[in-house]
Amino acid sequence: MITQNDADVIVVGAGPGGSATAFHLANRGLDVLLFEKTSFPREKVCGDGLTPRAVKQILDMGIEPTIENGWLRNKGLRVIGAGHRLELEWPEVEGFPNYGLVRTRSDFDELLARTAQKRGVRLHEKTRVTGPIMDEQTGRMIGVTTKNSEGEESKHFAKVVVAADGVSSRMALALGLERRDDRPMGVAVRTYYKSPRTHDNYLESWLELKDQNKLLPGYGWIFGMGDGTSNVGLGILDSSPVFQSIDYKDLLKRWLDQTPVEWGFRDENMTQQVRGAALPMGFNRQPHYVKGMVLVGDSGGMVNPFNGEGIAYAMETGQVVAEVIEKAMKAKSTFEMENELNQYPTVLKDRLGGYYTLGRVFVKLIGNPQIMQIATKYGMASKPLMRFTLKLLANLYSTTGKTKTDRIITALTKIAPAA
């Protein structure tokens, strides 16, 4: 079957992973089609808080996160639990900035998509990808079918298709890639309140979320947005026995009812409805390359099991796959191109596999309320231990082992199998 390609690469989904992938591909001289089923600006459920790992990806796209450009900076994480209140500054790690950021998700996603456009990416909004186009002879994906807002159906062809279409990933499911049940999953809910806490130099994390006086594996967050509101939400892991039965909106209200009234976290100050989303963690859909299609971000379950962070890893895997695809495009034959593309899952596991394995162990441990209680009680009593924990949970350590903490975390990730 011989076809005329519409682009070198088709990217499905213009979230952080899809837009970052498209940007880095275009930056390497490739012709990219990017399809987004909605139009910008559009809302997504997110904490809006970005760690230094995510900030690095923003800087790598040439975006200047200044106050004048609408960004709110923070210098660390404030952790509250077991009667303690610790303020932990982001660690100084080579290759990463020493600050985090806050920006609303609807604004953030559009900024990334427009940045990709400026690099030459051809973005089509209000265009739903309805399915893959397969080569009958090779069984390889060679394009996609689409339908726009007027109901017009089209076919588009490319050498590689990138599935960046989120946790449900219709593209992945079309090729038989189901979610792995042996990998952790989380649920997050969040809303916004008018609050005097809108300006804050720290992201804030509350470790003691309880259901019937039992500690839950997860945390609540408060992120000042700098616009008169705060983003407030919580995330829970499926290692909790009550994961399927708990009313998350009620849990959020019960937690916030314990906060001071003057903070404003009450129904009358709510500016948006409470919304929820699933958090696919620890490579919960594999392989990350199959039959002409690669997975990035939530479609491949890239969320960090330690802290529920997804944006940094969606963008990072987009940067990684762009390098792999560029090499594949330079291959002299289809056989060589496939060999290059098949390196992508290996590169990902080398980069994150051991760390995510540790994360899965962590998830299982804190799913036990007794272990969670002990960890909170004794961990919060030691600031040095919490500094170590911050480095581990935020994946902000130096692999060159410049400090004892860095050497310990690096050794653990190397020992852990990259499954």
Residue 81 lies inside a defined structural domain of this protein: no
The rounded percent of the chain whose pLDDT value lies above 70 is: 99
Model pLDDT for residues 140-186, shown as the tens digit of each residue: 999 999 999 998 999 999 999 999 999 999 999 999 999 999 999 99
Measured between alpha carbons, how far is 53 from 100 in angstroms, rounded to an integer? 8
Residue 290 lies inside a defined structural domain of this protein: yes
pLDDT over 70 at 5, yes or no: no
pLDDT number for residue 306: 94
pLDDT number for residue 245: 86
pLDDT over 90 at 8, yes or no: yes
CATH code assigned at 298? 3.50.50.60
Residue 405 zone, left/alpha/beta (φ > 0; ψ -120 to 50; rest): alpha
CB 12, CB 162: distance < 8 Å: yes
Residue 246 lies inside a defined structural domain of this protein: no
pLDDT number for residue 4: 63
Model pLDDT for residues 369-401, shown as the tens digit of each residue: 888 888 898 889 999 999 999 999 999 998 887
pLDDT over 50 at 310, yes or no: yes
Q: What's the mean pLDDT in 400-410?
A: 87
Residue 271 lies inside a defined structural domain of this protein: no
Give how many domains the chain has, as a whole number. 1
Residue 262 lies inside a defined structural domain of this protein: no
Residue 49 lies inside a defined structural domain of this protein: yes
pLDDT number for residue 321: 98
Adjacent-strand bridge partners of 275: 190
pLDDT number for residue 210: 87
Q: List b or e across 288-319, with b for residues whose CB sees 16 or more CB atoms inside 10 angstroms.
A: bbbbbbbbbbbbbbbbbbbbbbbbbbbbbbbb
pLDDT over 90 at 101, yes or no: yes
Model pLDDT for residues 337-376, shown as the tens digit of each residue: 999 999 999 999 999 999 999 999 999 999 888 888 888 9
Q: Which residues contact 230 (CB under 8 A, 6 or more apart)?
A: 192, 193, 195, 197, 198, 200, 222, 223, 224, 263, 264, 265
Measured between alpha carbons, how far is 218 from 209 in angstroms, rounded to an integer? 7
Measured between alpha carbons, how far is 65 from 43 in angstroms, rounded to an integer? 20
In 227-332, where does DSSP find H-type helix? Answer: 248-256, 311-329
Residue 297 lies inside a defined structural domain of this protein: yes
Q: What's the mean pLDDT in 54-74?
A: 94
- Indicate the burial class of 82 (C-beta count within 10 angstroms; 0-12, 13-18, 19 or more): middle
Residue 57 lies inside a defined structural domain of this protein: yes
Measured between alpha carbons, how far is 205 from 221 in angstroms, rounded to an integer? 5
pLDDT over 60 at 1, yes or no: no
Give me the domain span that covers residue 173. Answer: 7-73+101-181+281-357
Adjacent-strand bridge partners of 210: 215
Adjacent-strand bridge partners of 118: none
Q: Is the dihedral of CA 17, 168, 35, 142 positive or negative?
A: positive
Q: CA angle 345-2-292, nearest 5°?
A: 10
Q: What is the pTM of this model?
A: 0.94
CA dihedral 18, 20, 26, 28 (to 10 degrees): -130
Model pLDDT for residues 269-287, shown as the tens digit of each residue: 999 999 999 999 999 999 9
pLDDT number for residue 360: 94
Adjacent-strand bridge partners of 139: none
Q: What's the mean pLDDT in 35-59?
A: 91
Q: What's the mean pLDDT in 259-264?
A: 96
CA atoms within 13 A on the CB side of 52: 22
Across the chain, mean pLDDT equals: 93
pLDDT over 50 at 2, yes or no: no
More confident residue, 105 or 395: 395
Question: Beta strands 141-148 and 153-163: pairing type?
Answer: antiparallel
pLDDT over 90 at 324, yes or no: yes
Model pLDDT for residues 192-241, shown as the tens digit of each residue: 999 999 999 999 999 989 887 788 899 999 999 999 999 999 999 998 88
pLDDT number for residue 214: 81
Residue whose C-alpha is closest to residue 250's, from 204, 302, 205, 189: 189
Where are the extended beta strands (E) located within 43-152?
Answer: 49-50, 72-74, 76-81, 84-89, 100-102, 122-124, 127-134, 141-148
